[in-house]
Every structure is written in C-alpha cells, then in structure tokens.
Amino acid sequence: MNKTEVLNVLKYIKGAYNRFEINEETPKVYNDFLKGQEFEKVMHRLKEHIKRSKFEPTITDLLPPREEKEVEPYFRPNS
C-alpha cells in the first residue's frame, strides 16, 4: 500500500466509525504497518470487520491472519 491508499483506509474507517480519531501520527503508524500489503485485501478485511464489529478495527485486524505455530510446552515431564 502507498500513503494515499492508507489515507483512504483511514477515511473509510472514519466513515464507518464516527468516534474513530485520526491525529497527526495516525497515518504514519498505519503506513508503517500496512506498507507491503495489498490495498484490495486490506479493504476486504476492513469491510468484513465492519460487518461483524461495532468497534473500530485495530491495525492487527487489517493484517492477514498469522499462521498458527505449534507451541512448545513449558513443562516436559521426564520420560
């Protein structure tokens, strides 16, 4: 995504959630995390979020889901 696309995402969020605050740092922070993402995919995730949540999305909600990793147990009993 480029800076213009990030601004479009922020405007869309603001349009859906009128309490969403955009300050001077907001575009920079979103740009740092969303650069390298495809605009269409981010918008799809945003629209899906809007359909299911009355709360504005976090940056994490706009990123692709992480692949689940196998978690190593903290305790391994002796065999």
User: Does any domain span residue 49?
Assistant: yes
Q: Which domain holds residue 48?
A: 3-62
User: Does any domain span residue 16?
Assistant: yes
User: Does any domain span residue 45?
Assistant: yes
Is the distance from CB of 42 to CB of 9 less than 8 angstroms?
Answer: yes
User: Does any domain span residue 69?
Assistant: no
Per-residue pLDDT reduced to its tens digit, 33-51: 999 999 999 999 999 999 9
User: Does any domain span residue 78?
Assistant: no
Per-residue pLDDT reduced to its tens digit, 7-41: 999 999 999 999 999 999 999 999 999 999 999 99
Domains in the chain, number:
1
